[in-house]
Structure 1
Amino acid sequence: MPSVKQTSIPGLLQIELDLIETPQGWFKESFQQAKLVDQGFPQVEFVQNNMAYTTEVGITRGIHAEAWDRYISPALGRLFTAIVDLREGATFGRLETFELTPGQAIFLPEGCGHSFCTLEPNTVYTYLLAAHWTPDAPRTMVNLFDPQLAVPWPLPKDQQHYVEADATAPYLDAVTPIRL
């Protein structure tokens, strides 16, 4: 039975999944709504399933907050992920970090910024979205290396592979909190 744990960011959930070892490898039930809801997961209707594949250690993206809930779980490899609450309120700017393997998942409510850094080559992760992605959807970005957030990246900056837009995004103090 999976377990769901509330974090210090309201609505951000850490999920431990059952990873069943087999002679051939392993099996997991990535998302089973009824079992998760029994553990305190919200009733969410996901409408899109995406997969991302990265070839190298140190692929780093984010910090992006989008206009939908997300459920993220690795299928292969390991990810360091940093989540920042960008919603208006007392927890604006609060940071939570996790290392995710295929036996874990996280649920990010709308308005929380997500970033990741791959810790193994050939990492694959899936993410479910509660709204359809479109290129013109609202997105709030925060600088990956904002000293106020001080994300404890597992690799030094010079060993990370990131896009310039993520490293030159505004710092948290210049971001308007997201009003939901």
Structure 2
Amino acid sequence: MPIISVDKFAIPGPARLQLKRAGDERGWFSETWNAKDWLEAGLSEEKWVQDNHAFSAERGTTRGLHFQAPPHAQAKLIQVIRGRIFDAIVDLRTGSPTFGQSVCLELSSDAPQAFYVPVGFAHGYQTLAPDTLVYYKVTDYYAPQTEGGLLWNGKAVGVDWPMKQDVTLSKRDHDWPDLDTLASPFQYLA
């Protein structure tokens, strides 16, 4: 890709990848994913099967927190093509020493980065700029019958979103359960 560095977090599994960007008078070029570099960086082997784009016109658009349950659970590799987002994940792996804890970070098209989210996490983001375009790879196909979610601003979730009011949100994202009432479909494998 090539990966310059991999930032790990207190929760094992997720990682922020700093990517190389080469530029000249024409602009810049960056590899967004390369299997060899991925494995050399010590990241778990994944089979990416689908790529997605999500466009959000308004600042404050909040998507999530979403997941797909087994047998169609998805790992994700998220990048921002245009704009800036506050990205959040919550550990839903029952039995995990970090169950219910979150990792939050900002991703921007100004910095060549990617955020790796393994299976077992609810994922969501909030746009911090208008006309934001997010690109992500996933390890299983979209399976609507396995969709699940976690209430984005639930008290038990504890994510400190930059915008708490006047957000653009889908109806289904209003209706997901909070963490303390969610029956998680994920198990922690030590």
TM-score, normalised relative to structure 2:
0.87
Question: Secondary structure, in 3 states, of the residue corresponding to 2:98?
Answer: coil
Question: Secondary structure, in 3 states, of the residue corresponding to 2:159?
Answer: coil
**1:33-65 deviations in Å (ceiling 9; x for gaps):** 211211111111101111111112111010112
Question: Secondary structure, in 3 states, of the residue corresponding to 1:35?
Answer: helix
Instruction: List alignment gaps of at least 5 residues for structure 2.
Output: none
Segments of 4+ in structure 1 off by > 4 A? none
Q: CA deviation at 1:168?
A: 2.5
Q: CA deviation at 1:125?
A: 1.5
Q: What is the distance in 2 between the residues matched to 1:139 and 1:86?
A: 14
The answer on 1:131 being equivalent to 2:121 is no
What amino acid maps onto 1:101 in structure 2?
S
Q: What is the distance in 2 between the residues matched to 1:122 and 1:21?
A: 24
Instruction: List alignment gaps of at least 5 residues for structure 1.
Output: none
Q: What is the distance in 1 between the residues matched to 2:60 and 2:23?
A: 28
For 1:127-166, list aligned pairs within 5 A: 127-136=136-145, 138-158=146-166, 160-166=167-173
Q: What is the distance in 2 between the residues matched to 1:55 and 1:96?
A: 25
Corresponding residue number in structure 2 for 1:105: 114
Q: CA deviation at 1:96?
A: 0.7
Instruction: Give the CA RMSD over aligned residues.
Output: 1.5
Contact 1:145–1:167 at 8 Å: present in 2 too?
A: no
Corresponding residue number in structure 2 for 1:7: 9
Q: CA deviation at 1:24?
A: 3.9
Q: How many equivalent pairs are there?
A: 178
Contact 2:92–2:186 at 8 Å: present in 1 too?
A: no
